[in-house]
């Protein structure tokens, strides 16, 4: 399990209901189900990964964040998780709204576009920055809605979501040291991880 | 198609229910026989039983040589020791559907409504049955075997309809269900296909108003045409092209038709020959009136219709674990139908898995070699067993 998945797992209370959007090969829901006694389910777009998850006994449906969340009833989960995908969905604001309609808490991680390397490369090179995290050229990237940690906090404020926890994480998923200063986190954090709830 | 002799009715192992089954049409059909096969051993706790529901023209001989055709069981590659539905762990039950012709009460059974000549068959007088009636009969069988709760109910195509009906009618009676290559209602296109099949049978002079047994014949040509047409819908264009393509085969007269050396139908395409074979082998094992009864039952199938037009309420509050499976090239029960079902189940907050298996084999893929499908069946059942603390 990736380190940031471990951080996500640590945010989740045992024996709760969890929906993981973009559950991949089912690592997180498998862990939550087997180690934490959670009723953990997944949605995944890649059919090969869906089949692999189901073949491992995990409840996963084929679908995606933009089109399938509307079919879940209100408050049907305690946590709804979206890992490293917010920047790639068609309507991130709507996806967040759906997540907090379905779940009591939303756990969202995304790559931070405010990282100093990106800022510097755009400033000095004048081209769309390419880094280890942002590694596809602009004409091929699925990341159609990049945002910074500040941008995300602003959206949460606008839509009335309460940030229960937040942290910056580096690419390996190690928790980064900038815990108090959003300014520093936004400059040095490669990934951001948020635990949100409805007001 | 050359065979016009009536079917031989063998004895099939069965259970008899003198009280019968109360049908959706209001008639009580009594007594009722349900022919069935079992594989594996029922655990002392009676918690390892899997009911398999067969498709339209299938029967109870899932994993053994068929007594009539001599062919291997229709799902022998899925059910058996060490197979995805592992009979070393599970006790597997499969029964011939009500209305069928392999030992369960159906149109070929002796009339029990006091009408007609003594010992006469039901024929077309057999009361109209529904998928739910089939499930009611299976429920009697399962209870009769002393099983309070099934581990799972599994089935493809019309078998999948029964699986869904089980989940709706008896949600407390199973831990999990696998509706495969199926839909929550029969589509207009599928009703249309069924109607063509029925008309082919009825148009055969040997059908004789449904009383063909009186003359010792069967409407073999009509039944074969129905089967040929239906068989096309079970395949895909890709599969037909891959298997048979446009290849020709020499006609019986070496390319010469009855009209002389040059003939329209002298040589035939492999695909024609293949379908003719499918048609002719079918008439030896299937009863025409059963064909009519069962296709009608499929046509009526619509879970939402029984719940004020909404699919979700049918499943609300269900604790059953669902695994919905579709096949990418299935145009009879397409993935879109499976997705409708999966979404309705999500709305009902049900525990649902939904997988589309990538294949070019069409609807029949659920009966064929598909490693991803095998893994899905095995993994899902293991997952449910693990969750239930079974093994």
> Each residue of B189-229: pLDDT tens digit?
999 999 999 999 999 999 999 999 999 999 999 999 999 99
Domain annotation covers residue B6: no
Q: Do the Cβ atoms of B349 and A63 come within 8 Å?
A: no
CA B305 to chain centre: 22
Domain contains B166: yes
Does B157 qualify as catalytic in the annotation?
Answer: yes
- Kindly state whether residue B8 falls inside one of the protein's structural domains: no
Q: Which of A58, A62, A73 sits opposite B354 (nearest CB)?
A: A62
| Rounded alpha-carbon distances, angstroms, from residue A78 to A29, A66, A166, B4, B31 | 14, 20, 18, 64, 51
pLDDT at res. A172: 76
Q: Return the structure tokens found at B275.
A: 């379908």
Q: Which residue range is the domain that position A185 belongs to?
A: 3-114+147-198
- Same domain flag for B322 and B381: yes
Give the residue among B298, B253, B250 at the shortest CA–CA distance from B273. B250
Contact check, Cβ <8 Å, A59/B343: no
Total count of domains within chain B: 2
Query: Any CB–CB contact under 8 A between A47 and chain B?
Result: yes
B115 and B231 share a domain?
Answer: no
Active-site residue, B12 included: no
Residue ranges, chain B, pLDDT below 50: 1-7
Active site includes B330? Answer: yes
Q: How many CA atoms, within 13 angstroms, populate the side-chain half-sphere of residue A184? A: 7
Q: What is the pLDDT of residues A115-172, one digit of tens each?
A: 999 999 999 999 999 998 899 999 999 999 999 999 999 999 999 999 999 999 887 7
Residues B81 and B20 occupy one common structural domain: yes
On whether both B308 and B255 belong to a single domain, the answer is no
State the ipTM, two decimals.
Answer: 0.90
Closest CA to B353 of A56, A34, A96: A56
For residue B328, the chain A residue with the least C-alpha distance is A47
Could you tell me if residue A177 is inside a domain?
yes
Residues in contact with B237: Cβ distance below 8 Å, sequence separation at least 6, in sequence order: none
B242 shares its domain with B382: no
Choosing from B257, B292, B327, the residue where a domain stops is B292
Report the sign of the C-alpha dihedral through residues B180, B182, B183, B185, in that order.
Answer: negative
Distances in Å between the Cα of A125 and the Cα atoms of A117, A120, A190 are: 11, 8, 20
Looking at residue B106, its pLDDT comes to 98
Q: Is residue A86 part of a domain?
A: yes
Distance from CA of B154 to the nearest CA of A (A): 16
CB–CB of A63 and B380 under 8 A? no
B255-282 pLDDT, tens digit each: 555 555 567 777 889 999 999 999 999 9
Q: Which of B346, B351, B376 sits opposite A55 (nearest CB)?
A: B376
Is position A137 within any domain? no
CATH of the domain at B268: 1.10.1740.110
Residue B334 belongs to what domain range? 14-186+302-387
Q: Hey, are the CB atoms on A57 and B347 less than 8 Å from each other? A: no
CB–CB contact A62 B352 (8 Å): no
pLDDT for res A177: 72
Quick check: A78 contacting B, CB < 8 Å?
no
The tokens describing B41, both together, are 């051993």
- Of the candidates A57, A63, A71, which has its C-beta nearest B386's C-beta? A57
Say whether A76 and B349 touch across the interface (CB within 8 A).
yes
How high is the pLDDT of residue B252?
Answer: 63
What residues contact residue B4 under an 8 Å CB cut-off, 6+ apart? B206, B217, B218, B220
């Amino acid at each position: 399990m990736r380190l940031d998945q471990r951080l996500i797992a640590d945010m989740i209370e045992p024996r709760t209901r969890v929906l993981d959007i973009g559950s991949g090969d089912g690592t997180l829901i498998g862990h939550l189900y087997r180690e934490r006694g959670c009723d953990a389910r997944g949605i995944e777009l890649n059919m090969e990964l869906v089949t692999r998850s189901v073949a491992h006994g995990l409840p996963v449906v084929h679908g995606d964040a933009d089109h399938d969340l509307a079919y879940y009833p209100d408050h049907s989960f305690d946590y709804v998780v979206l890992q490293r995908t917010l920047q790639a969905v068609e309507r991130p604001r709507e996806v967040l709204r759906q997540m907090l309609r379905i779940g009591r808490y939303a756990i969202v991680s995304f790559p931070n576009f405010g990282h100093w390397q990106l800022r510097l490369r755009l400033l000095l090179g004048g081209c769309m920055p390419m880094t280890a995290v942002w590694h596809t050229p602009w004409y091929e990237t699925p990341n159609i809605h990049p945002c910074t940690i500040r941008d995300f906090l602003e959206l949460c404020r606008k839509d009335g979501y309460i940030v229960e926890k937040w942290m910056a994480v580096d690419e390996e998923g190690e928790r980064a040291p900038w815990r108090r200063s959003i300014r520093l986190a936004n400059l040095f954090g490669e990934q951001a991880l948020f635990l949100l709830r409805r007001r | 198609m050359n065979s016009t002799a009536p079917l031989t009715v063998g004895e099939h192992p069965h259970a008899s229910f003198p009280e019968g089954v109360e049908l959706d049409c209001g008639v009580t059909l009594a007594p009722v026989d349900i022919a069935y096969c079992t594989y594996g051993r029922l655990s002392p706790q009676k918690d390892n039983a899997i009911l398999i529901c067969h498709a339209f023209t299938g029967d109870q001989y899932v994993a053994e040589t068929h007594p009539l055709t001599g062919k291997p069981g229709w799902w022998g590659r899925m059910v058996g020791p060490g197979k995805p539905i592992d009979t070393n762990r599970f006790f597997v039950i499969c029964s011939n559907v009500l209305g069928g012709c392999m030992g369960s009460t159906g149109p070929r059974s002796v009339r029990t409504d006091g009408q007609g000549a003594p010992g006469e068959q039901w024929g077309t007088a057999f009361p109209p049955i529904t998928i739910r009636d089939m499930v009611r009969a299976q429920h009697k069988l399962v209870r009769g075997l002393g099983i309070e709760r099934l581990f799972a109910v599994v089935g493809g195509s019309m078998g999948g309809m029964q699986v869904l009906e089980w989940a709706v009618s008896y949600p407390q009676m199973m831990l999990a269900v696998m509706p495969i290559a199926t839909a929550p209602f029969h589509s207009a296109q599928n009703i249309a296909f069924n109607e063509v099949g029925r008309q082919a049978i009825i148009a055969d002079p040997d059908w004789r108003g449904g009383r063909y047994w009186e003359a010792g014949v069967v409407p073999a040509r009509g039944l074969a045409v129905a089967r040929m047409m239906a068989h096309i819908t079970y395949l895909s264009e890709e599969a037909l092209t891959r298997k048979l393509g446009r290849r020709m085969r020499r006609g019986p007269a070496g390319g010469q038709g009855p009209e002389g050396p040059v003939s329209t139908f002298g040589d035939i395409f492999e695909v024609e020959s293949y379908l003719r074979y499918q048609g002719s082998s079918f008439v030896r094992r299937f009863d025409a009136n059963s064909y009519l009864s069962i296709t009608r039952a499929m046509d009526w199938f619509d879970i939402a219709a029984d719940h004020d037009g909404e699919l979700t309420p049918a499943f609300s509050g269900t604790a059953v674990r669902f695994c919905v499976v579709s096949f990418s090239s299935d145009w009879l029960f397409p993935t879109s139908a499976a997705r409708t079902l999966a979404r309705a189940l999500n709305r009902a907050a049900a525990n649902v898995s939904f997988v589309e298996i990538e294949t070019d084999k069409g609807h029949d893929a659920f009966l064929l070699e598909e490693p991803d499908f095998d893994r899905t069946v095995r993994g899902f059942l293991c997952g449910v067993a693990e969750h239930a603390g079974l093994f």
